[in-house]
């Protein structure tokens, strides 16, 4: 699993342009979801802890090929990590396997 933080340019209160955190994108290999190994388990557990601790409401989008896409979705649901957030299920609708979280979690 590879995580990337996406940014956007915003205007600060002083009128200057600055970069702001926009979203967290976690791309993964679908084969990692067939038999969840220790590294994948650790990543899903950390992601679950992050979303559970978030003080802001998040949009959590699951994208990719089925059935691999459903694995992190179901796992995070089982952890109770998706409660109070908006879940966008795009499993089967896209070919790029990833989890996109926006805005950035405030913990």
- Per-residue model confidence as pLDDT tens for the chain (107 residues): 787 777 777 777 788 877 666 789 999 999 999 989 999 999 999 999 999 999 999 999 999 998 999 999 999 999 999 999 999 999 999 889 999 999 888 87
Q: What is the pLDDT of residue 92?
A: 92
Check residue 20 and give its pLDDT.
65
> Would you say domain 2-12+21-102 falls under CATH 3.30.70?
no
Q: Helices 70-79 and 38-53 sit at what angle, rounded to 10 degrees?
A: 50
CB 32 within 8 A of CB 40: yes
Strand partners, 6: 23
Domain boundaries, the chain: 2-12+21-102
The predicted structure's pLDDT at residue 82: 97
What's the maximum distance between 2 C-alpha atoms anywhere in the chain? 51
């Amino acid at each position: 699993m590879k995580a990337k933080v996406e940014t956007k340019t915003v205007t600060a209160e002083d009128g200057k342009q600055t970069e702001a955190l926009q979203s967290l994108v976690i791309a993964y290999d679908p084969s990692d979801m067939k038999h969840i190994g220790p590294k994948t388990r650790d990543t899903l557990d950390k992601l679950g802890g992050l979303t559970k601790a978030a003080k802001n409401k998040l949009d959590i989008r699951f994208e990719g090929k089925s059935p691999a896409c459903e694995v992190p979705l179901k796992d995070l649901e089982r952890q109770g990590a998706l409660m109070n957030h908006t879940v966008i299920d795009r499993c089967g609708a896209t070919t790029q396997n990833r989890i996109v979280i926006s805005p950035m979690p405030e913990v």
